[in-house]
């Protein structure tokens, strides 16, 4: 737990740094909630897709059991609704749906990237403020205020450390959610390829 006196000793830049920290926490909670609520997959549904011949009735029944807000529901529903249309239309629509999920999931990633860059810079700004106050005291030849000098040095170190810690947390959060997003997109691509192969075989058998 961050000591309040330590926070105060970090100087004025601790306020924007604290704001960046809370923004990181808020985005993290929002993404975790989104993952729990909207990205849960269905093993039984995946088993149906992995079969050589998809039973579309079972496929649709299992899909209806998933929440309508689930990213897999929206993606896989395309193949049911358009299974009788040309494959290139199905594939194009599925790609657009995957891009829609990617855009929705990553809509705050730019904020995390900004925090990763700006937090260390703010910490460096705190270093400048702290060292400036120390040099000002040293330059005052009338008195030698040791406590004032050490306070300035402490301010610079605390601000720098806090800025780096926030940047590291934001970087870890960004990398984790980026990995989750890529895993979901890879899984969508794999499922889409399997369904398209199945549809391609069905279309070929129908045309013969």
Residue 128 domain-assigned (yes or no): yes
User: What's the chain's average pLDDT?
Assistant: 82
Please give the residue range of the domain that contains residue 97: 12-203
The pLDDT value recorded for residue 59 is 87
How would you class 167 by CB atoms within 10 Å of its CB: exposed for 0-12, middle for 13-18, buried for 19 or more?
A: buried
> Total domain count for the chain?
1
Residue 78 domain-assigned (yes or no): yes
- Cβ of 178: how many Cβ atoms within 10 Å? 14
The pLDDT value recorded for residue 146 is 44
The pLDDT value recorded for residue 127 is 73
How far are the Cα atoms of 64, 99, 139, 164, 184 from residue 191, in angstroms, in the given order? 17, 15, 70, 40, 10
The pLDDT tens digits for 133-190 are: 554 555 555 555 444 445 445 556 778 888 899 999 999 999 999 999 999 999 999 9
The pLDDT tens digits for 106-125 are: 988 999 999 999 999 988 88
Is residue 204 pLDDT above 50, yes or no? yes
Residue 4 domain-assigned (yes or no): no
Query: What does 15-62 look like in DSSP terms, one character per residue?
Result: HHHHHHHHHHHHHHHHHHHHHHHH----HHHHHHHHSSS--HHHHHHH
The pLDDT tens digits for 26-67 are: 999 999 999 998 888 888 888 888 877 888 888 888 888 888
**Neighbouring residues of 7: CB distance < 8 A, sequence distance ≥ 6:** 14, 18
């Amino acid at each position: 737990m961050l000591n309040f006196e330590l926070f105060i000793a970090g100087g004025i830049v601790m306020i924007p740094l604290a704001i960046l920290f809370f923004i990181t926490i808020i985005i993290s909670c929002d993404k975790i909630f989104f993952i729990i609520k909207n990205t849960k997959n269905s093993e039984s549904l995946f088993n149906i897709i992995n079969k050589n011949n998809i039973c579309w009735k079972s496929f649709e029944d299992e899909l209806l059991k998933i929440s309508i807000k689930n990213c897999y529901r929206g993606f896989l529903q395309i193949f049911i609704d358009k299974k009788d249309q040309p494959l290139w239309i199905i594939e194009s629509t599925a790609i657009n749906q995957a891009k829609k999920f990617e855009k929705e999931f990553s809509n705050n990633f730019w904020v995390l990237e900004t925090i990763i860059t700006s937090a260390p810079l703010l910490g460096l700004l705190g270093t400048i403020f702290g060292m400036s106050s120390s040099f000002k005291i040293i330059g005052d030849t009338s008195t030698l205020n040791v406590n004032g000098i050490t306070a300035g040095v402490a301010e610079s170190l605390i601000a720098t450390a806090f800025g780096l810690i926030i940047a590291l947390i934001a970087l870890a959060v960004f990398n984790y959610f980026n990995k989750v997003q890529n895993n979901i997109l890879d899984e969508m691509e794999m499922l889409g390829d399997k369904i398209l192969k199945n549809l391609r075989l069905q279309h070929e058998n129908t045309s013969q």
